[in-house]
Amino acid sequence: MSESGEASPAVSVVVIVYNDAERLPVAVDSVLRQTLRSLEVIIADDCSTDGTPEVARQLMSRDPRVRYTRLPENSGGCGAPRNAGIQVARAPYVMFLDSDDRYETHACKNLLEAIEDTGADFAMGLARRQNMDTKSSTQWYPELFRERRVVGGLQESPQLISDTISVNKLYRRSFLDEHELRFPVDIHYEDQLFTYQAYSCATSIAIIPETVYIWRIYPSHGQQSITRNRHRIDNFRHRLEANRRIDAFARANVNEDLRRVKDLKFLTHDLRLYLEDSIGGDPAVTHEVLDLADPYLRSIPRDRYDELPTGLRVACAMALRHDADGVRGAMLFDRQNVLGGRISRHGDRWFWSSAQGPPGPDPRLAPDSWENVLADVTGSTLVRAPAASFDMLHEVREVRRSSRGLRVRGMTFDGLGKLAAGDDWTLSLSLVRRDAPSEAVQVAMATCSAEGERGEWVEWSAELPLDSQVFRIDHRVLWDLCVEVRIDDAAPLRQVVQWRCGDAEVSAPVRGPGGRVFSDRLQAYRTWNGRFALRTVLRGWVRLRIGRRLERRLKPFLRKKVVQRWKRVDSARLRSPIYDAMRRLPLDPRSVVLEAHLGTIHGDSPKYVGEALREIRPDLQRTWVLPRGHRAPSPGDRVVQRGTYHYLLALARASFLVDNQTFPGYFRKRAGQRYLQTWHGIPLKKMGIDVGDSAQLTAEAASGDRGVGAWDQLVVPCPYFEDVFVPAFQFRGELVRYGTPRNDPLVTGAIDRTDVLRRLDIPTDKKVVLYAPTFRTDQNRRPISLPFNIRQFVEGLGPDWVLLLRPHYLNRIHVPGGVRTSVLDVSGVEDVNDLYVAADVLVTDYSSVMFDYALLRKPIVYYTYDYEEYLGKRGVYFDLKDVGPGPFVQTTDELVHAVRDALADQHRYDQDLEKFIDRYCGREDGMASRRAALALLGRD
């Protein structure tokens, strides 16, 4: 190598090691292979007693950039060796590395360039935690590292405080010296104090989005649980000590605001980590943790607790009562949205109490004691949370082998009295395949009547059938036990089941041919997050040799998609000839095929045309194209999936076809078939020949048996649609004027709002805002979830509001913990009309739901943060901003105000609304479905 070893290096990397000769070379190599060559490695040995010195010597002889320093005696921590390393470092910049971790290849260079370009006191980059068993990795506080930026100290960006590690940072040596920053040597969690001090002293911090540190996690399965528990408690003690010192430093050096941030960080991060252990852990350990935590919790100013999410705040109350069960119940709510406590009313206040204990505040304590005040949940939306917004507590109390498989006995706790409030309820058990939740095995279940003071505990028992239903040759298939809760006629709720039956895992042999051949056993076990699940345990040489080999061979076919495809026609190439052959069969005069949105839902206009057909021609055989597992919409209906033989046959032989989008590319309409196109929205963006590249479409239109040319009738909602859509697609068939089948119930008033709210379990005095956007993807082409800050939005609106989320079916959403009780994911509600009726305000962007919702003459708010980008690209028929009957907003803050104002002043946009309806919305008389059905049948 070059002279960089002798000349002053640009960066010094201090690698600390204690008795880790085995992994040290990996860590050091990750530094020596950095794309920044000008650096030195200082191996700071905490007086190891194994081969570490020898390994270090070898490393030094291999590369002159390696140096070695050794503490005279073992310090037992990371602080002393790091300080020793800083002492001998020669470079103007210093970094730290632990012997069991490694650097990303470009870490030193990226951090060095950042600190040089910005002149910051230190630079920090992203760390990844890599699980060394699974090799999967997660990012450490990624939200802090999204953008390349410079912040002027902690004041400017308090959330940095969550990143408490010292190893993902490059420090300016002069900065460390000037502020005399060194690691404390007598405690663990020296990082926390050091990092906090560094944050507090810094006036400029450079942040880069690149990964710099690979933090390797070695799951400790070998360890005895007792020593682990011991270890855990010691760790907690050290953590508290580190926090006490941080407090002492903070009192002298930083302002109240930063102290608040620090306290909240302790509660929401450090404390939460240990209280969370109570979910699956040993109550004795929880008790010890609570004893340690008590004085420290009481030293934190009480107002900090008001900023915690309800679950965690209540957990603190239970912690102060030293109630391990109570802590568990509250943490279940905090971490898993499982309501593990009771909400009950005392006087005019509402209290959370432990599921095991008596309701209400603790009478032995003063009403204004911390224990009682923190358990007071009055004013929280939890008090009147809809049933679908949380899971009840279900837990298996006992599991044992029985003659037929595994026998489980469990309890359900109904902490909000949802079961009691309904007229009728049922619980049922099922085993749900974890990687394919649509595969579920129903389990017969016996429920005993409710017990407890208010009938809040329900006892149940069941026999898990360990037969061919759950046997899979792929031994990695896991089954989660779930409870399905049905209250009255509301949609069923699938909820998780906790493991609460001791530490012993119970297994039983699989019955039925496959399992017997392989002598597999199914084992009930507790998942990492404390739930009840089943996994396969392999036994015997047959399974381990032959079975595994067979499994490997079959692996490609075992994947879910392939299995599903077996039942479908093999490939798109095959479908066309098979379909062509089927077209030679005679037409079935009584068959009608209905499809909406490419066979994904039972809804939109085809649903209502179908209903009208059922009335007019009950003799017709209706075939619905729906996803797998969908039940028949009404008795006598057939259900087929797109792409299957049944589908091809239905498509080839039906006399009547109803669709709102398009049939597959190989579809050719036969002579004698009648095809009603309902279309699925009023056009806003340009389409058809209005968008340039449409030669293909027009050609299709001309050919007459496919594409637009195949349509016989087109449902026309309004004159605007006729003016725009019909010429754009050069449609020349029959026009079914005016009205939209799916809007019939909106104008006839067939849907009762109270009834909808009851089914959604929303209190009638709540105000409801519905968010229904168009589908969109981010720059990486992944569907994006919510383009606004949901927490800010819900908290901004206040507790009187409920937010219904109706994302496009391809978009997934994640609702953060604190606001779950005010937010309902209603993507499962099949008929969107219900939601229109339920809503007080609609928030949308460019989605055509605005044209339907407007008919109800209720306020609309347009959240169009990407107006130019979204509409600009493609061209529009009219400028939405000119005619949209509502405010257009860009930020979450504006959105909150606009929604409130919309309800406060409902009539502000009345004129615009009437104009909008008149110009663009359907001319609805409530008879559109009937008209469309008659047109399809060829009658007037």
What amino acid occupies position 733? G
Q: Is beta strand 425-433 parallel, antiparallel or unpaired with respect to 349-354?
A: unpaired
Give the range of 192-200, 406-414, 684-692, 919-927 binding another protein by CB under 8 A: 684-692
Q: Does 881 bind another protein (CB under 8 A)?
A: no
Which of residues 209 and 509 has its CB atom nearest to another protein in the complex?
209
Q: Residues binding another protein: what is the number (CB under 8 A)? A: 31
Q: Report the phi/psi class of residue 768: left, alpha or beta, with left for phi > 0 and alpha for psi in -120 to 50.
A: beta
Helix, strand, or coil (residue 308): coil
Task: State which of positions 541-570 bind another protein (CB under 8 A).
Answer: none
By CB under 8 A, name the one of 90, 345, 555, 874 that touches another protein: 874
Q: Which of 15, 24, 86, 107 binds another protein (CB under 8 A)?
A: 107
Nearer to another protein, 106 or 494 (CB): 106
Q: Does residue 776 touch another protein according to CB under 8 A?
A: no
Which residues, 6 or more positions from 822, have their beta carbon under 8 angstroms from its beta carbon? 381, 385, 389, 794, 799, 801, 802, 803
Selected from 23, 37, 346, 737, the binder of another protein by CB under 8 A is 37
Q: What DSSP string runs through 155-170?
A: TT-GGGGG---STTEE
Instruction: Name the segment binding another protein (CB under 8 A); options: 549-557, 663-671, 868-876, 926-934.
Output: 868-876
Whole-angstrom distance, CA of residue 620 vs CA of residue 658: 13
Q: Nearest distance from residue 732's CB to another protein, in Å?
A: 24
Residues 6+ apart with CB under 8 A from 637: 622, 623, 624
882 forms part of the interface with another protein (CB under 8 A): no
- Closest distance of CB 876 from another protein, Å: 9
Nearer to another protein among residue 36 and residue 470 (C-beta): 36
Asked if residue 505 binds another protein (CB under 8 A), the reply is no
Residues 628-667: x where in contact with another protein by CB under 8 A, - otherwise, as a string: ----------------------------------------
The Cα–Cα gap between 775 and 284 comes to 50
Distance CA 265, CA 893 (A): 25
Q: Which is nearer to another protein, 33 or 545 (CB)?
A: 33
109 binds another protein (CB under 8 A): yes
Amino acid symbol at 89: A
In angstroms, give the least distance from the CB of 111 to another protein: 11
User: Which residues in 780-799 contact another protein (CB under 8 A)?
Assistant: 780-781
If the CB atoms of residues 87 and 777 are measured against another protein, the closer one turns out to be 777
String of contacts with another protein for each residue 3-22, x by CB under 8 A: -------x------------
To another protein, the closest distance from the beta carbon of 35 in angstroms equals 5
**Cβ atoms of 793 and 892 closer than 8 Å:** yes
Judged by DSSP in three states, 639 sits in strand
Radius of gyration of the chain (CA): 33
Token pair recorded at residue 325? 């069960």
Cross-strand partners of 97: 15
Q: Least Å distance between CB 215 and another protein?
A: 15
Task: Name which position in 40, 104, 277, 334 contacts another protein (CB under 8 A).
Answer: 104
Of 430 and 774, CB closest to another protein: 774
Q: Which is nearer to another protein, 110 or 822 (CB)?
A: 110
Closest contact distance (angstroms) between CB of 868 and another protein is: 9
Stretch that binds another protein, among 101-109, 333-341, 832-840, 915-923 (CB under 8 A): 101-109
Query: What's the distance, Cα to Cα, between the start and end of the chain in Å?
Result: 91
Which tokens belong to 408?
């489980």
Residue selected from 36, 144, 308, 339 as contacting another protein according to rule CB under 8 A: 36
* Binding flags for another protein, 687-726, as an x/- string (CB under 8 A): ----xxx---------------------------------
Of residues 211 and 740, the one with the C-beta less far from another protein: 211
Quick check: 872 binds another protein (CB under 8 A)? Answer: yes
Decide if residue 35 touches another protein (CB under 8 A).
yes
Find the farthest-apart pair of alpha carbons in the chain and give their distance in angstroms, rounded. Answer: 101
Under the binding rule (CB under 8 A), the answer on residue 105 touching another protein is yes
Among 105-113, 278-286, 315-323, 433-441, which window interacts with another protein (CB under 8 A)?
A: 105-113
Based on CB atoms, which residue is closest to another protein, 256 or 879?
A: 879
Q: Least distance to another protein from the beta carbon of 33, Å?
A: 7
Q: Mark the segment that binds another protein (CB under 8 A) among 35-43, 294-302, 533-541, 804-812.
A: 35-43
User: Exactly one of 57, 106, 433, 680 binds another protein (CB under 8 A); which one?
Assistant: 106
Q: What is the 3-state secondary structure (H, E, C) of 16-34?
A: EECCCCCCHHHHHHHHHCC
User: 40 or 852, CB closer to another protein?
Assistant: 40
What residues contact residue 199 under an 8 Å CB cut-off, 6+ apart?
153, 154, 160, 161, 205
Q: To the nearest whole angstrom, how small is the minimum distance from the Cβ of residue 836 to another protein?
A: 31
* Nearer CB in complex with another protein: 105/600: 105
The contacts of residue 491 (CB under 8 Å, 6+ apart) are: 388, 759, 828, 829
Decide: is 143 part of the binding site for another protein (CB under 8 A): no
Q: Which of 561, 873, 907, 939 binds another protein (CB under 8 A)?
A: 873
d(CA 435, CA 474): 12
The yes or no reply on residue 110 touching another protein (CB under 8 A) is yes
CA distance 743 to 806: 18
Residue with tokens 């430093």: 249
d(C-alpha 705, C-alpha 580), whole Å: 13
Q: Looking only at residues 200 through 229 of this chain, which bind another protein when binding is defined by CB under 8 A?
A: 209-212
For another protein, the closer CB: 70 or 686: 686
| CA dihedral angle for residue 790, residue 795, residue 797, residue 801, rounded to 10 degrees | 90
In SS3 terms, 239-292 reads as HHHHHHHHHHHHHHHCCHHHHHHHHHHHHHHHHHHHHHHHHCCCHHHHHHHHHH
Interacting stretch for another protein, rule CB under 8 A, among 36-44, 188-196, 465-473, 852-860? 36-44
686 in contact with another protein (CB under 8 A): yes
Segment holding 73, helix H or strand E = none
Phi-psi region of 782 (alpha: psi -120 to 50; beta: other; left: phi over 0): beta
User: For another protein, which residue of 134, 136, 255, 779 counts as binding (CB under 8 A)?
Assistant: 779
DSSP state string for 446-499:
EEPPPBSTTS-EEEEEEEEE-STTT--SSTT--EEEEEEEEETTSPPEEEE-EE
**Using an 8 Å Cβ cutoff, are 98 and 76 in contact?**
no
How much helix, strand and coil, in percent to the nearest 5, is found in the chain?
40, 25, 40
Residues forming the site for another protein (CB under 8 A): 1-2, 10, 33, 35-38, 104-107, 109-110, 112-113, 209-212, 686, 691-693, 779-781, 872-875
